[in-house]
Amino acid sequence: MAEKNNPLVLTNARVIDPALGLDEAGSVLVQDGKIVAVGAAANNQGAPEGAVKMDCGGAIVAPGLIDMGVTVGEPGAEHRETLESASQAAAAGGVTTMITSPDCDPIIDDPALVDFILRRARHTAIVNVHPMAALTKALEGREMSELGLLKEAGAVAFTNATIPVSNSQVFARILTYARDFDALVVHQAKDKDLAGSGVMNSGLRATWLGLGGVPREAEFIAIERDMRLVAMTKGKYHARLISCPQSARAIQIAKNDGLNVTAGISINHLTLNENDIANYRTFHKMSPPLRTEDDRLEMVKALADGTIDIIMSDHNPQDVETKRHPFAESEDGALGLETMLGAGMRLVHSGDVPLMKLLAAMTCNPADRLGLEAGRLSKGAPADLIVFDPERPWIVEKEKIRSRSKNTPFEDETLQGRVLTTLVAGRILYNIAA
């Protein structure tokens, strides 16, 4: 293993960096945890004396992935996931930076709790961890959190996790206050009254299965409200996860109007649809629910044309006690850290999304939105890197999942595109051959 202060040269690689528009054969030179040179220029520069060389065998070297959708059980539900176990899963999936959700126990709505997450991560996690803090006290949607103090403590953004802020006056106040701190508001838009007690996408499939449906309107009407409030307050807004084309259209209109908005989507909603629920498979129960195949295809187009900016895993570990129930009674959520890139490569292999666009949505786009140095191969940037083979097939085996929970929607499926090595600050933290 190359230590942080030892020079490391990744040779014989296809170097891809969406931030630089770089896709060429070459090398990556790392020293003191930073990137020194990339691509053909690194070949010309040569290796410094005493450098460790790693032959990539023609595999791709790219920036490490940044995942804006990671829920961990720590504190409060460590049996489901800890920062340590989540980071191990992240490294295996090529995720070098996790952005964690505040829906823990206690809720991350106090500066001391932000500090706790950061200190705990430094001691136990092997990848970078940046916490998001709660938009409202206890995620109840009534009283705004102390956004300024939370940002000062280290929160990179603010969210109410999967719980929408339904009160428009409260949300407008949040957007205005956050704007003054240049803080990003990450919101899961949903009209709770329209969604009701639905548990899957509203439509014929739900009727056949005898399950309550969640109409698309419950999402896109709320998105349209949010866009109006962003226009009114001039706030900085990110739609945490959209799932239907009407939402994408509302986001695109807002962008065309010059609003400071971006949109995210989970890898699940890009690669799965409501038919995957099959015979009540609870690992496919998510919020928002998986939509139709036509909806999925439209969302893939929205990613390809730039309407959707960021892909996240929506990693939400649930154990057997919360998933082994009838579909309607089981908890929402699925794992995603280890499978985000492999599942995303389906879109590349199908020809629907260029590889550069896919990687941008997982690297430089979230980095830019959050103001992070990572997510690029620029000289002087942190040497957070992945080496992956885009053609290598692998089977998602439950026994080999590194998360404490095992609720992956891709169980026993074959994915094509495998992470071989993951480095954070120049240190090799995961190597498939090890």
Q: Would you please indicate which residues are annotated as catalytic (active-site) residues?
A: 314
Neighbour count for residue 278 (Cβ, 10 Å): 9
Q: How far apart are CA 316 and CA 234, in angstroms?
A: 31
3-state secondary structure of 361: helix
Residues with Cβ < 8 Å from 101, sequence gap 6 or more? 69, 70, 71, 72, 132, 159, 161
- Taking each helix axis from N to C terminus, what angle separates 217-233 and 245-256, rounded to the nearest 10 degrees? 10
Distances (CA, A) of 130 to 71, 143, 302: 12, 24, 27
Q: How far apart are CA 241 and CA 162, in angstroms?
A: 9
Host H or E run for residue 67 = strand 65-70
How many CA atoms lie less than 13 Å away from 216 in the CB half-sphere? Answer: 15
Q: How far apart are CA 406 and CA 81, in angstroms?
A: 10
3-state secondary structure of 273: coil
Tokens standing for 13?
């690689």
Q: How far apart are CA 126 and CA 88, in angstroms?
A: 7
Residue environment code for 44-78, b if the CB has 16+ CB neighbours within 10 A, otherwise e: eeebeeebeebebeebbbbbbbbbbbbbbbbbebe
Strand ranges, E, within 180-294:
185-187, 200-201, 213-214, 237-239, 261-266
Q: Cα 95 vs. chain centroid, distance in angstroms?
A: 9
Cis status, amide bond into 288, omega within 30 of 0: yes
Residue 157, Cβ density class (10 Å: 0-12 exposed, 13-18 middle, ≥19 buried): buried
Neighbour count for residue 41 (Cβ, 10 Å): 16
